[in-house]
Amino acid sequence: MNLVWARTQVSPQTENLTEYQLEGLWHVIVLNDPVNLMSYVVMVFRKVLGFDETKARKHMMEVHEQGRSVVWSGMREKAEAYAHTLQQWHLTTVLESDEAH
C-alpha cells in the first residue's frame, strides 16, 4: 500500500482569521477627558496610530462628542501595546473585547 502525504498550505489570511477566532477581537477605546486639548489628541493619534490629519480629527471629534472612539481593533497583544502607549501620552484608554457587545 502506497500512501501519499499531502501537505496543505495555509494562507496568511486564513492563519490570521484562525488567530482572531481563537483569541478574539479587541478594541482600543479612547475616552473623553476634561484635561487634554483637541489639538493634542489629534497629534497623539497621528504620532502613535499613524493616522493622517483627517482620520485623527474624525476620531478626536468622536471622543469629544460621543465620549469615546474605537481607534484600533485587532489581536489582544497589539491592542494592549497601543492602549499602554496611549496611556503614556495621558489619554484615557481602555481595552474592550469584541465579545462585550
What CATH number does the domain containing 36 carry?
A: 3.30.1390.10
C-alpha cell at 12: 496568511
Give the mean pLDDT of 34-48.
Answer: 97
Average per-residue pLDDT for the chain:
85
| CA–CA distances in Å: residue 90 to residues 17, 18, 33, 41, 54 | 33, 34, 10, 10, 22
Which pLDDT does position 99 carry in this prediction? 81
pLDDT at 32 over 90: yes
| 10 within a domain of the structure (yes/no) | no
- Inside any domain, residue 82: yes
Confidence of residue 100 (pLDDT cuts 50, 70, 90): low
Domain containing residue 55: 25-100
Is residue 36, in this structure, part of any structural domain at all?
A: yes
pLDDT given for residue 4 in this prediction: 43
Question: What is the model's pLDDT at position 45?
Answer: 98
**The pLDDT of residue 66:** 98
Whether the per-residue pLDDT at 18 is higher than 70: the answer is no
Residue 11 lies in a domain: no
Whether 3 is in a domain gets the answer no
- Global pTM value: 0.76
Residue at 56 is within a domain? yes
55: left (phi over 0), alpha (psi -120 to 50) or beta: alpha
Question: Is 9 a member of any domain?
Answer: no
Give the cell for residue 15: 492563519
Flag whether pLDDT at 57 surpasses 70. Answer: yes
Residue 30 included in any domain: yes
Per the structure, how many domains does the chain have?
1
